Chain A
Amino acid sequence: GEDVEQSLFLSVREGDSSVINCTYTDSSSTYLYWYKQEPGAGLQLLTYIFSNMDMKQDQRLTVLLNKKDKHLSLRIADTQTGDSAIYFCAERNGANNLFFGTGTRLTVIP
């Protein structure tokens, strides 16, 4: 079955890089996603990566995928206070449904 794990909290100083990690169990996952959730809001898709890719870069965001270890990471360069939020990793199963991790709360210290 699908099981997605993330560490719960991360604090970084403004201007530093943030790295949020995720592990998943479903080796048949074809796409993996990162979503951002701000307080009281729904989930906003940040980026996604196809399982045959190792890395994807999109402006300040870099996604790294280690398919062998089923490990996904999201790096945010030059982290800003507006990046403070909960970040969810999600995998897509064979039925095209998304399964989410518990989320990592990122706190950016000014």
Chain B
Amino acid sequence: DTGVSQDPRHKITKRGQNVTFRCDPISEHNRLYWYRQTLGQGPEFLTYFQNEAQLEKSRLLSDRFSAERPKGSFSTLEIQRTEQGDSAMYLCASSLEGTVNYGYTFGSGTRLTVV
């Protein structure tokens, strides 16, 4: 296992288009998290899954955002009708319940630019 993988690494889209990102966590990790990071800021929590259940969503996650983890393995984050304010790095992380005290393992992120 090579860690947390995110695809694509970069995405440029026109305002109003829909985009979807994928995250493949470490295979034995049952928790998966999505964060958003804008320039000069720390990562902001968006949502997390335990297995296939989405257990918490931040108020940052507007109704244009939806995340899924259908089989409890990979996850997708979709943004509908993108806006310029959605431009950011979207980070995925995973952890194993019971070891979360050891922190999360992060992927390299997907950088979204909305033009």
Interface residues of chain A, those whose CB is within 8 Å of chain B, are: 4, 30-31, 33, 35, 40-45, 48, 50, 88, 90, 92, 95-103
Contacts and interface: CB of A to CB of B under 8 A. Distances in A.
Contacts of B41: 102-103
Contacts of A96: 31, 100
A43 B95 CA distance: 14
Contacts of A100: 35, 42-44
B74 interface: no
A23 to B, nearest CB: 14
Interface string B5-32: 0000000000000000000000000010
Contact of B101 (A41, A48, A88, A103): A48
B29 to A, nearest CB: 13
Interface residues of B, number: 25
B107 A98 contact: no
A23 B8 CA distance: 35
A42 B100 contact: no
A95 B33 CA distance: 12
Given A88-B43, A101-B42, A50 B101 contact: yes
B77 to A, nearest CB: 15
A45 B42 CA distance: 14
